[in-house]
Amino acid sequence: MSKKEESKPAGQVKDHTAKRMQQLVEENRHLRQYVTEVMSRLRENERLFSRLFELETRVLAASDVEVLCFTLLKSMREDFDLDMARFWIDQSGLAAGRQLTSLSDNDLVWLDGEEIRKAGLAGKRVCLKSLSPKRKFAWLAARDEHLGSLALLTLGDLDAPFGVLGLGSVDTDRFRQDQGTDFLQHLAQVVSLGLENAFSRERLDKLASSDTLTGSKDMRFLQPHSHQPLSQWFGRDMNVACLYMDVDGWKDVIEKQGQKSADDMLIKLSEIVRAHIRERDPLIRMNGDEFSLLLPGCTKKKATEIALRILEDCKAAKVDGEDIGISIGLAYCPADIEMQVKELIESADQAMYVAKALGGGRLELAEDGECS
């Protein structure tokens, strides 16, 4: 004990020691509280990155763009406890020409080319916004009025982004502007790369199995499906109709007008057909002037109406002064009948030859027995 402490009365020494002990207890309590908070944040970060890893795995396993988008949005809402997850995508950018019809307007909103820049998001990977009746975000709809905060993740090249992923929460503190954004920036990069790869892969697959003249599918597209049951390709409980089309007198057109006119006729025919079908309906150039068209989920009546409209439009069209005459065969397989893809196409092909034998420029339906 120092001389100074020896000079103090015993009561003062005890009071000082008690006060110091109390301070140490309080410091220890604050330290334990701090360690508990740090460990809690570490565990939460561990859970977040574990979910992010699972999300990355799902992204890599997604089979196409629509599956990928649906998987991402569903994971965002469920695994990250969000009240809103939505894509805003530039329809003139990376996704140009893609309709993504399986996504609702709650999942996806298409933007014009300059809207991302006008919103002030170009050049920023992550933008956090607090929302209130006085502080709104123009892209949100009436259904989003319950949201209290919003994170906007810019996708693609920051100088020319192709879209934005919006994450919304009713919690006003979920996405505060003073928060760190490391996790969200990593998430934005994962989503960007996943979508860029999916769109690019889809575009390459389309080019690899497309007919360069007409833009329809070609035999390479059909080959892996040819011996599959229809239910394996299009799903169970699905009616499937097939139209088989052949240009009447196509070889005569080549001899009379030349190959270019004959090719232009095929291009025009494919344009007419696509005007009456959905994007997902496979139109396949079989060989030369023959096309098959598969219509999953289509009734026989509806398929007949489509075929007759195609016939009518072809009769009204001309290429280099020549009429476009076609013969069409229609075969139909109801959902309760099991049939291979090639069998349905062959049945429609046979019906087309009947139409051609009867003078062409008409539609013939396969006998019901041929589709059973």
Question: Lowest mean pLDDT: which of 201-205, 234-238, 304-308?
Answer: 201-205
Give buried/exposed letters for 72-83 (b at 16+ CB in 10 A, else e): bbebbbebeebb
Which amino acid, 79? Answer: D
CA angle in degrees (0–180, nearest 5) for 238-240-246:
165
Residue 29 lies in a domain: no
CATH number assigned to the domain comprising residue 318: 3.30.70.270
Average pLDDT value for the chain: 86
Confirm whether 169 is domain-assigned. yes
Whether 139 is in a domain gets the answer: yes
Q: State which of 208, 231, 263 marks the end of a domain.
A: 208
Rounded distance between C-alpha atoms, residue 357 and residue 193, angstroms: 54
Residue 21 resides in a domain:
no
pLDDT tens digits, 41-89: 656 656 666 676 677 777 666 668 888 888 889 888 888 889 999 999 9
Q: Are residues 266 and 340 in the same domain?
A: yes
Name the domain boundary from 162, 186, 208: 208
Note the Cα 81 to chain centre separation in Å.
Answer: 22
- Give per-residue burial for 308-324: e unless 16+ CB within 10 Å, then b: eebbebbeeeebeebbb
In angstroms and rounded to an integer, the radius of gyration of the C-alpha atoms of the chain is: 33
Give the total number of structural domains in the chain: 2
One DSSP character per residue, 9-43 reads -HHHHHHHHHHHHHHHHHHHHHHHHHHHHHHHHHH
* Mean pLDDT within 304-321: 92
Domain shared by 272 and 343, yes or no: yes
For residue 345, pLDDT beyond 60: yes
Q: What is the mean pLDDT of residues 337-366?
A: 95
- State the pLDDT at residue 147: 96
Tens of pLDDT, residue by residue over 167-177, are 999 999 999 98
Instruction: List, for residues 191-212, the tens digit of each pLDDT value.
Output: 898 898 888 887 777 766 778 8
CATH number (domain holding residue 155): 3.30.450.40
Residue where a domain stops, chosen among 183, 208, 233: 208
Q: Is residue 49 part of a domain?
A: no
pLDDT: is 203 or 10 the higher one?
A: 203
Phi then psi for residue 103, to 5 deg, are -95, 135
Residue 272 corresponds to which tokens in the numbers above?
């007419």
Question: If you average pLDDT over residues 352-356, what whole number do you get?
Answer: 95
Could you tell me if residue 57 is inside a domain?
Answer: no
Q: Which of 362, 290, 285, 299 is nearest to 332 (CA)?
A: 299
User: How many CA atoms are closer than 13 Å to the CA of 167, on its beta-carbon side?
Assistant: 27
On whether residue 13 sits in a domain, the answer given is no
Q: Are residues 254 and 194 in the same domain?
A: no
Tell me the C-alpha distance between 265 and 104, whole Å: 37
224 shares a domain with 203 = no
% of the chain at pLDDT higher than 90: 48
Average confidence (pLDDT) over 285-305: 94
Stronger pLDDT, 301 or 60, i.e. the higher one = 301
Q: Is residue 175 part of a domain?
A: yes
Half-sphere exposure of residue 255: CA atoms within 13 angstroms, side-chain side? 4
pLDDT(326) > 60: yes
Confidence grade of residue 365 (pLDDT, cut at 50, 70, 90): very high
Same structural domain, 192 and 228: no
Q: How many other CB atoms are found less than 10 A from the CB of residue 95?
A: 21
- The secondary structure element, H or E, covering residue 355 is helix 341-357
Instruction: State mean pLDDT over 112-124.
Output: 90
What pLDDT is stored for residue 370 in this prediction?
44
Tell me the whole-structure pTM to 2 decimals: 0.56
Reduced to 3 states (helix: H, G, I; strand: E, B; else coil), residue 117 is helix
Task: Say which amino acid occupies 324.
Answer: I
Residue-level pLDDT at 14: 65
Looking at the fold, whether 129 and 174 belong to one and the same domain comes out as: yes
Please give the pLDDT value at position 371.
Answer: 40
Q: Are residues 350 and 292 in the same domain?
A: yes
* Phi/psi at 185 (5° precision): -65, -40
Range of the domain at 236: 219-371
pLDDT of residue 369: 44
288 phi and psi, to 5 degrees? 55, -115
Token pair of 257 as six digits: 């007008």
